Chain A
Amino acid sequence: MGDVGTRILSVEDDERIRTAVKLALEDEGWTVDEAASGEEAIKLFNRASPDVVLIDIMLPGMDGFELCRTLRRHSDVPIVMVTARNDTHDVVAGLEAGADDYLTKPFAPKELSARIRALLRRIRPISPGHAKLVFGDLEIVPDEGKVTRAGQELHLTKTEFRLLCELAQNPGRVFSRESLLDKVWGYDYFGDGRLVDVHVRRLRTKVESDPANPRHVVTVRGLGYRLQS
């Protein structure tokens, strides 16, 4: 069962799906708020301050991508997107709009709760003595969830932060996509590598001074990613 008091905002215009998903999520012990449109979701978001937001991409009026971007402007809340298609365009566009994970309709509610649980996990405590990790101009304080570049604080989403911390646990080591999918998202061998790729891209726009020529989060061709000073 999930943490008592965990609130989920479900944004879906199809009333029957919304109701069924709400019933299924409530069985997990979570509180579910419902919104039928993007505009309604934004109003509700400020009032209810949910722990996870579930967004269907196909919404009337403001679509899911735009809602995602709007929420991301002032929140690092974990977002799960629901797409109708799992082709490259929708998935990558959703992730780039700021979603942390995605599901393709029709998904089993078990899958959804597994995804939500993975996003709600706490960051693993880092071994003592490493309260502060320094990579050149980059400083990470895992326990406070704080990252600074050249003394300036950066705003990372929870997933971006977790990804950065995973890479920072073992500086210089190459992490394969699979191991990052497992550690950050809780996926098995068959997770979608695009999750890692898009998140790395998003992370670079924040931690790199020149995201096109990354110095910290570097790609190791054919193997994965590595964090360096």
Chain B
Amino acid sequence: MKHSQRIGVAVRDEIRAFIQDTFLYMRPDLELQDDDNLMGLGVIDSLGFVELVEEVQSRYAIAIDDIEITEENLGSVSAIVRFIGAKRRS
């Protein structure tokens, strides 16, 4: 496994763990898939996205602009991992 892939896996696990601990404790029967739509499934609401953005900014030391808080960037675990990867490379 390449270094960047390992980092991607670590980020994925961390994001999943954060979502699990922060939002999914209310939904014990839900098995979240990486491509599941977080809003569509009702996993995260608007205030939840504010928490998620704060967590991602502080944990990965990246700055997320207002216009970047979109479904494409934060709508699923996969999207978040991709977005963090792109932000760290930029």
Does B associate with A?
no
